[in-house]
Structure formats: C-alpha cells, structure tokens
Chains A and B, each alone.
Chain A
Amino acid sequence: MNTNNFASIKSGIYDKDAISLANVISSLNSHPKIAKVGSILTFTGIVRETSQEGKLIRNLEVDSYDELANASINKICNEIRELSGIIEVIIIHFKGKFQIKDELVHVIVASSHREEGFKALRLAVEKYKKEIAVWKKETFLDGNSEWVH
C-alpha cells in the first residue's frame, strides 16, 4: 500500500487555497487503516457576510502564530485519534486575506462508524475554535475593521 500521498497532507496552518478538501479526502484512500473506515465526515468553515454582531463584512484577514498553532492542531488531532472508533483526524486552517464565501478551515474525521465520527467532528471544531493561535480581522462595509477576540 502506498502511504506517500497520505503522508503529504498534514494538519496545520496553510496559505489560502493551498489544499482542497477533495485532495484531503482522496488522500485518505491511501491511509494504512482505510479498510477500517466506514465514515468520512467533514466540516468546512467559510466567510459569512455578517459579523457576530450582525454587521456586514467586506472581507476578512486571518493571522496566525504558525509554530504555536501547528503544535495545538497536532495536539487536538492526537487527542481525538485516541477516541474509540476514530481512525484519522485532519485539521487544515488557512491564513491570509479572504472574501465572502472563501474557505477558512477544513476538519476531516474518518471513523469506523458515523456516530463516533459526528461526536469527534464536533469536538474537533469546538477545540480548534478555542485552542489554536489564530485571529480573524473583519473589515466592514463602512471601511472600519477590528480583530475578533
């Protein structure tokens, strides 16, 4: 079994559009434990046109402390891989400048059965939101901008 392709897609911080969700999913085909997988679930976060407060957004910028964020992403993935029935977890978070509808993050969970996959996917999303050193700056239609914290 060729695992080179799989090994080439690592969780972490990437420049905008550096990796597609389709590439991540197809890379799982060469995962050494793919025969144990019965479910692949994905979450993709994209840029919404309104802020949490309902203000209209023109664009978004994402900054990251790569060394720290990559370490936290790997820690989250390692923790979730330990859960029963979870075969693989990959988190791809993009940085740079984004427009409305652009993809910001992909979370991919491969599990033996769907139920543990849904739980693990939710856990991975909740954790990356809080634990990785990434910041979003929203620029509004009126030209003002602010970092979200």
Chain B
Amino acid sequence: MMKVEVLYFANFKDITGKDREVLELNENTLIGLTSKLFRKYEPIKNLIWDDRIKGLKKNISLVINDQIVQDKEKEQLVLADGDKISFLLPFSGG
C-alpha cells in the first residue's frame, strides 16, 4: 500500500470539489492511480482517458512532482510513495 497526493485544477477541481487529496494505491503504477480515480470520479475518465489506445488522451499532460512527464508510455510509469501527481488539460492563459 502506498500513498500519492493528487492535485486538481480547473475541470478536475469542479468534478472533485477539492484542490488536492491523498489517495492510497494498491498498485504502484499510473494505471493503478487512474483506476482508482475513475472509480471515485467517473467524469474524470471522460476527460483524460482514450479507450481506443487504452491510455491518456494526447492532449493531457501528466505532471509528477511539478515536472511535466515527457515519456511516451506514461501508463506504465511506476509511482513512488509521496509523489504529487496531476493531470492537466490544455492551457488557456488570459
């Protein structure tokens, strides 16, 4: 069992009603996290997940510990206890 902190911005904040929370994961991969997130907040799946490629949508940025993850195969990434994770939709500066 490990814990990660998930940060929510914009649409994600509206869906969850909070700006961050700590989640306990049974599986230490990104898939482990997304599975848990989708069970808890079904609309998040529609926002970030592409069932055809069984992965994150192309327009979604994954950020771990304030760094944008550039890896192509993000879904198999191994997470560490205490990681701070967020999914970002395309930006829209003022």
Q: Which residues of A contact B66 (CB under 8 A)?
A: 67-68, 71
A residues 1-52 near B (Cβ < 8 Å) are: 45
With A68-B66, A147-B11 known to touch, is A62 a contact of B88 (CB < 8 Å)?
A: no
A residues 117-149 near B (Cβ < 8 Å) are: 128-137, 147-149
Q: Cβ of B9 and Cβ of A45 under 8 Å apart?
A: no
A104 at the interface (CB under 8 A from B): yes
Q: Which residues of A contact B93 (CB under 8 A)?
A: 93, 105, 128-130, 132, 134, 136
Measured CB to CB, the nearest residue on chain B to A47 is B94
A residues 94-124 near B (Cβ < 8 Å) are: 94, 104-105
Within the assembled complex, what's the spacing in Å between the Cα atoms of A71 and B59?
Answer: 20
12 A-B residue pairs with Cβ-Cβ distance under 8 Å, sorted by A, are A45-B94, A93-B94, A94-B94, A129-B93, A131-B91, A132-B93, A135-B92, A136-B92, A136-B93, A147-B10, A147-B11, A148-B92
Task: Identify the B interface with A (CB < 8 A).
Answer: 7, 9-11, 13-14, 59, 63, 66, 68, 86, 88-94
